[in-house]
Structure 1
Amino acid sequence: MTSPLWQACSVAPRQILTVIHDLGNSITIAPRSFVIMDMKYITVKTAGDSPELIPFIFPRSVNHDAMYEGVRTAFISQDWIRCTVVSAGFVDMETMRCHGRSETLNLKPAKGDTALLRATYGGPKS
């Protein structure tokens, strides 16, 4: 079962590459051509009977911990479901390869993150 937030963010995963939170507290959808090559990401795991892994890609200017807090707060405020961050790092937007680590969350990419991001947002299969 897919959470309502994820449904809202996955209208066209191959055409819409990322969700960027701008200064006006609104959500801006950025097409591939407008996204820089190296961005940050977190993967959250939802709680409940059917947990799922949901990756979020965001600009390098946003700290990993701030993004997680925003996602967690959105899940709680909408009374959708609880979530926990399980991995974080950087993603090369050309190859969709995960690398690096999050200093603010003290987490690194999990083994399956590259495949998860490619399956979610598109990109090379290998």
Structure 2
Amino acid sequence: MRTRAPSRGVRSRSRRGGRTGKRLLSGLMRCGSCGGSMVIQGPDRGGQCIICSNDKEARTCDNQSRYYVERIDAAVVDHRRAQLKTPELLAAYITTHREERRALEAVSRRRRAKVEKGLADAKARDRPDRRHDRRRHP
């Protein structure tokens, strides 16, 4: 099983109105055999598990393994915790976070300026020219 890195786009899926998953890696896991997406298969004795969607729906994948979601989530969280205990990695995380926040803020400023300009232009088009009106109507 592979995971796909989240897109480095500025907006998250939830801000675009798309669905967000209930699980930590929703939409990011891929089958190691065929590259298909991994989907929830009902719970069994070990809890909720995921399987390859190509195996589940079309039986076109050799990977018939089940992976337990709780174990995957726990492993990811534990790994991230361990990484953030390392000063160098924590510093890199903070630097990246700050850069992404600055990029988000810059996009927001540009959007706001564009909207404000559009609003000002619309108001200017709708506003009658008073000097012109006075000349016509003494």
TM-score under structure 2 length normalisation: 0.23
Q: Highest CA radius of gyration, 1 or 2? A: 2
Query: Which is helix-richer, 1 or 2?
Result: 2
TM-score under structure 1 length normalisation: 0.25
